[in-house]
Amino acid sequence: KAGVTQTPRYLIKTRGQQVTLSCSPISGHRSVSWYQQTPGQGLQFLFEYFSETQRNKGNFPGRFSGRQFSNSRSEMNVSTLELGDSALYLCASSLVVGMNTEAFFGQGTRLTVV
C-alpha cells in the first residue's frame, strides 16, 4: 500500500511569488490535513479537508489556502510568499475525521523563500 505522497520534495521561490504544494493520501483515506514545521514555531496545524470540504482551519493568514478534490488528493497554495513562509510542509492522511484516528504523514515539501 503506497504511503502519503507529497510533491515536490523541495522548492525554492522568491518573495512575492505564489506556490502550490500537492498531497496524495493513502488509497481509501478521505481526510487530509496540512501542517507547517519550522524551527521556531514547531509543528502548526494549517487546515483539514474531508470529502472536499474544509473541516478545520488553523491560525494562519488568508494567503494560505487549500482544497481537496473528489479523489481525495489535496493541494495547498501560498500566495505572496514571505521569507517567514520557509518551512517544511507536511501532509497527513486519515481514513476518516476523528480524534482517535491515526494520521499518516508524508515526507513533506521543503519550501525555501529567498
Partner 1 sequence: GNSVTQMEGPVTLSEEAFLTINCTYTATGYPSLFWYVQYPGEGLQLLLKATKADDKGSNKGFEATYRKETTSFHLEKGSVQVSDSAVYFCALSGGETSGSRLTFGEGTQLTVNP
By the rule CB under 8 A, 99 interacts with partner 1? yes
How many binding residues for partner 1 (CB under 8 A)?
Answer: 28
Enclosing H/E stretch for 78: strand 74-78
Q: Give the CA angle between residues 58, 90, 66 to the nearest 5°.
A: 50
* 91 vs 75: CA distance, rounded Å: 10
User: In the set 28, 42, 53, 83, which binds partner 1 (CB under 8 A)?
Assistant: 42
For residues 26 and 79, which CB has a smaller minimum distance to partner 1 in the complex? 26
* 10 vs 68: CA distance, rounded Å: 21
Amino acid (one-letter) located at 73:
R
By the rule CB under 8 A, 60 interacts with partner 1? no
> Which residues here bind partner 1, judged by CB under 8 A?
4, 6, 31, 33, 35, 42-43, 45, 48, 50, 55-56, 58, 90, 92, 94, 97-108
